[in-house]
Structure 1
C-alpha cells in the first residue's frame, strides 16, 4: 500500500484531536454523535416516557400516578387523555411539576406533562397550541435547549380533517420557540 491510502482526516473524538467531541480523544469516532458530553455534566441521561392516562381528573388520581411512576426511572412524562378542567401548572407536594391542558370535552382528551423535581429549575417554558398538542422547553446547558412536544393523536378511524388539524398543531408547536433539539412523543385515542 502507498502512504496516501493510509492517511485519513482526523475524526472528532479521535486521538488526533484530543478533548474534542465524544470521549476526550479515546480513539473512537464518537465526535458529534455523542451528544451526552456536549450537554454538560449535570445531565448525562434524559429518560422520557409517554402514557395514555385514561383519567387524572382528581387529585387522588394524580397521587396514585406519582406512586406508580416512582417505581420507574424517568425525568419527563408526557400524558394524554388526562380529563382535567382548565389549564394549569403546579408544583406537587413531591416537588414534581405538573402541567395539564383540558381536552375538547371535559370527559375526554387533554394533554399533560410531569417533570421530575430534579429538572423543574431547567423548565424554560411550558404551554400548548391546542387541546391535543402541548410542548415543554428544557434548558440543558447555558447554550442548548430541548423542546418536547406531547401529542394526543387521533387514530386512523378519525376523519382526515382531524388528522390534518393535528399536523398543523404539531407544526405550530415545533415553530413556536427556537430550540437546538426537538423530541415528539405521542399517544393515540
Structure 2
C-alpha cells in the first residue's frame, strides 16, 4: 500500500519556548564501575536533560547518587544481572522527581515536576526480543498499558526505549506513525503500532525526515544489518520538535542513543535554570608536607634566636611564621579522575576499531 503523504509542520519559536532533551539508550550493561564511568564520559559530551536506559543489568531497585553530581534510578531483576531499566539525570532534575515507579525489570517510570501546573512522566522500556514467545510480549504490553494509565496525573507522558520492533513505513491512514519510518515492518512492529493506534500515541522517530545514516538505532555484530528499533512515543504529537540519533555517542553498545527534543508551554525561567546546571566543582583538598614545614619553622628559630624583642612582638612573629610556613608547605592533593588516561586511550582505540569495522 502507498504510504500517506500528509504531514504536520510545526513552527517553534525557540526564543520564547524552552526546549527539553529526553534521550533513550540501550547501554547493554552498566553493571560495573568501568562501564558506568565510560557512559558518564560520553554523556558529558552531549546536551540532555534525562537519559532513559535499557539493559542496565543491575540487581534490585535503587537510586544511586554518583560522585559526578548525577543520579541513576534503576529497576532490575532481584536475583540475576539481566534486563533492567533506569534513568540518569542531574541533581536539579533529581530534586524534581515526584515519584519513581519500578514496574518490572523491563518497565519503569519517573514523574517530574516542571512547574506549579505541569508535570511530565517518562516511561522507559526494554521490550522482549523476538526470541521470546508472543505471550511474553503480550504480558509486556499489558504492563506498559498499566504504566501509562497510571500516569493520568501527569500533564504529559513520554514513552521511550528499546522496543525490539521494526515499525517501518507508514501504512495508509495510520495516526501512530509519520511518513518517515525506516525499512520494513515486522510482526512485533505491527504490535507496537496497534498498541499506539488504540491509545492515540504517536511514534516520534517517524515524524522527522533524516538521512538513512541517522535513522538506524541498532547494528548487528557483523555490521551488515541496521535496524530502527529504539523509539520515543507520546500522545501529544505537537510537543515534538525533533527526534535524532546521535552517532557519536559510543560506549561499546550495539545501539545508538536517540534524543527527542520537545517543547511544553510552561515556566521558561525555571527550565533555563535546569539547562544551565553543571556538576559542582569539587573543593581543592590540600595536605601539609611535614619536611618542608619543619624546615620553615627551624629556619625562623635560627634567624630570630639572637633578637631581643618584646614578648608581644615575638608572639606575633611566631604566629605569622607558622601561617606562612603552613602556606609554603601545603600542596594540592590530586584526586583520581573517573577514567584514567590509560583507560581513556583504550576507549579511544576501541572507537577507532569500530570505525574501521575491525570490532
TM-score for both structures, normalised by structure 1: 0.73
What is the aligned partner in structure 2 of residue 187 from structure 1?
A: 162
What is the aligned partner in structure 2 of residue 173 from structure 1?
A: 147
TM-score for both structures, normalised by structure 2: 0.40
1:188 deviates by: 4.2
SS of residue in 2 equivalent to 1:46: strand
Distance 1:127 1:37 in 2: 33
CA 1:105–1:153 in structure 2 vs 1: closer, same or farther (change >3 Å)?
A: farther
Number of residue-to-residue matches in the alignment: 154
Higher relative contact order (CA 8 A, sep 6+): 2
What is the aligned partner in structure 1 of residue 111 from structure 2?
A: 137
Asked if 2 retains the 8 angstrom alpha-carbon contact of 1:94 and 1:117, the reply is no
Matches within 5 A, 1:62-81: 62-81=36-55
What is the aligned partner in structure 2 of residue 108 from structure 1?
A: 82
SS of residue in 2 equivalent to 1:71: coil
Asked if 2 retains the 8 angstrom alpha-carbon contact of 1:75 and 1:116, the reply is yes
Distance 1:59 1:124 in 2: 28
Asked if 2 retains the 8 angstrom alpha-carbon contact of 1:74 and 1:116, the reply is no
Higher normalized helix content (fraction of residues)? 2
1:158 deviates by: 2.3
Deviations 1:111-142 (A, max 9, x none): 11101233222111112111100001111111
Asked if 1 retains the 8 angstrom alpha-carbon contact of 2:61 and 2:102, the reply is no
Stretch deviating more after TM superposition (164-173 or 113-122): 113-122
Higher normalized strand content (fraction of residues)? 1
Unaligned runs of at least 5 residues, structure 2: 1-9, 165-359
Distance 1:164 1:173 in 2: 14
Stretch deviating more after TM superposition (150-159 or 63-72): 150-159
1:104 deviates by: 7.0
Asked if 1 retains the 8 angstrom alpha-carbon contact of 2:26 and 2:161, the reply is no
Runs of 4+ off more than 4 Å: none
Asked if 1 retains the 8 angstrom alpha-carbon contact of 2:84 and 2:106, the reply is yes
What is the aligned partner in structure 2 of residue 20 from structure 1?
A: none
Q: CA RMSD in A?
A: 2.4
CA 1:37–1:122 in structure 2 vs 1: closer, same or farther (change >3 Å)?
A: farther
Distance 1:104 1:172 in 2: 21
Distance 2:48 2:16 in 1: 20
- In our comparison, the structure showing a higher alpha carbon Rg is 2
What is the aligned partner in structure 2 of residue 23 from structure 1?
A: none
1:55 deviates by: 0.9
Stretch deviating more after TM superposition (110-119 or 66-75): 110-119
Distance 1:188 1:171 in 2: 14
1:106 deviates by: 2.0
Unaligned runs of at least 5 residues, structure 1: 1-28, 39-43
What is the aligned partner in structure 1 of residue 23 from structure 2?
A: 49
Asked if 2 retains the 8 angstrom alpha-carbon contact of 1:47 and 1:74, the reply is yes
SS of residue in 2 equivalent to 1:73: coil
Asked if 2 retains the 8 angstrom alpha-carbon contact of 1:103 and 1:131, the reply is yes
1:37 deviates by: 5.8
Distance 2:26 2:41 in 1: 16
Asked if 2 retains the 8 angstrom alpha-carbon contact of 1:89 and 1:99, the reply is yes
